[in-house]
Amino acid sequence: ERITQTVEITKHVVDIEEKGVKLRLTIVDTPGFGDAVNNTECWKPVADYIDQQFEQYFRDESGLNRKNIQDNRVHCCIYFISPFGHGYGP
């Protein structure tokens, strides 16, 4: 069976606990971005998502009830380049 390739932003949340330290890790996956023949603005949905997360946090922090604010801002971006094609080696 063929697996279809997604080109939408998917969000996965993982709760990690190690030696009493609790961490909530959110992975935002953007598979397929930049794979099209014309990818001049393929980065736009990703940049819009990052901006939306920052704006939501800013609105929550500027409000009156700031006790239960969830920080969903993007703190790190990792971009993987395929080693096949474009003259890259493995």
Domain count, the chain: 1
Q: Is the pTM of this model over 0.75?
A: no
Give the DSSP H or E segment for 75: none
* Residue 73 falls inside a structural domain: no
State the Cα–Cα distance between residues 37 and 80, nearest whole angstrom: 18
* Residue 53 falls inside a structural domain: yes
Q: How far is CA 47 from CA 23, 57, 61, in A?
A: 25, 16, 21
Find tokens 């080693």 and name the residue: 83
- What is residue 23's DSSP assignment? E
* Residue 83 falls inside a structural domain: no
pLDDT at 21 over 90: yes
List the structure tokens of 28: 């935002």
| Domain ranges, residue 20 | 10-62
> Above pLDDT 70, what percent of the chain?
71
Residue among 6, 56, 55 nearest 30 (CA): 6
**What pLDDT is attached to residue 16?**
92
pLDDT at 87 over 70: no
Helix, strand or coil for residue 59? Answer: helix
